[in-house]
Amino acid sequence: MWKEGSLKINESVFHYWMKVYEEGSQFGIDGGKVSKLMLKRDDTVVCNYDRGWDIEPADPDTQLAVEILLHGNNY
């Protein structure tokens, strides 16, 4: 199932897309349910996971956004 939305962390606004399955798998982030995740800030991809990290979160706001999304969807 695909999910899409926006999330504000401090002064950063992220638009995200993620594919979430009912059960975790080897392809999910940390073996969890999220197998695809992309975050954009100001039309720039700042994080991308597609069965593996293509672009890892590089700053604290992006990392926090990923942690919030995974907390509610990955486990």
Its pTM stands at 0.91
CA dist., res. 11 & res. 22, Å (int): 33
User: Residue ranges per domain, the chain?
Assistant: 2-73
Summarised one tens digit per residue, pLDDT across range 6-17 is: 999 999 999 999
Summarised one tens digit per residue, pLDDT across range 57-75 is: 999 999 999 999 999 898 8
Summarised one tens digit per residue, pLDDT across range 15-60 is: 999 999 999 999 999 999 999 999 999 999 999 999 999 999 999 9
- Residue 28 CB neighbours (<10 A): 22
CA dist., res. 16 & res. 74, Å (int): 15
